[in-house]
Amino acid sequence: MSVPIAEFRDDRGNRICWDGEQIPNTRVTFTGSNNTLRVESGARIGNLSVQFDANNGLMEVGSSRGVPSFSATVRVGEDSRVLIGRNVSTTSTVGISATEGTTISLGEDCMLAIGVQLRADDGHPIFDVHTEKRVNVSRDIVIGAHVWLGYNSAVLGES
């Protein structure tokens, strides 16, 4: 089920917590259960697509004042979190992916340029052929306050 950002709750425990009017150019897709999108009052949202493709996911977006809007394509997986601080802005739509219980956190007053990618996961597991152990385990990403991520930069959850 896909819905725009507006106050929302379904029978699988998915919800959007937002006290304003419906935000245009947004889409939230729920395919799991017990997922929550919280958008703080005063948040400036541009094009935003959020996909909760598992259960118990959380995304929070802080308020904005005097900065450009926040635009992203976001994937929130099983038991994962994406936390966007106050006054985080983008110059275009950025990509964010948190799965397998990871957290991606952006501190206050961050700026993200064109082509930025934040990926706590590789999108698929890779195993060592000798040990049969997974070599690309998903990892948290924490970006502090007042950080600028420049053109086409990628932040990966590496071990």
Please tell me the CATH code under which domain 2-156 is placed. Answer: 2.160.10.10
144 vs 2: which has the higher pLDDT: 144
pLDDT at 158 over 70: no
Helices and strands in the chain: count of H runs, count of E runs: 0, 17
Reported as a single tens digit per residue, the pLDDT across 94-108 is 999 999 999 999 999
Return the minimum-mean-pLDDT range out of 1-10, 34-43, 55-64, 144-153. Answer: 1-10
Residue 50 main-chain phi, psi, to 5 deg: -120, 130
Nearest residue to 46 (alpha-carbon basis) of 28, 66, 25, 62: 25
Whole-angstrom distance, CA of residue 62 vs CA of residue 64: 7
Average pLDDT over residues 61-66: 96
Percent of the chain having pLDDT more than 70? 99
159 pLDDT band (50/70/90 cuts)? low
Determine if the pTM surpasses 0.85: yes
Average pLDDT over residues 111-118: 97
Q: Which residues contact 108 (CB under 8 A, 6 or more apart)?
A: 62, 85, 86, 87, 88, 145, 146
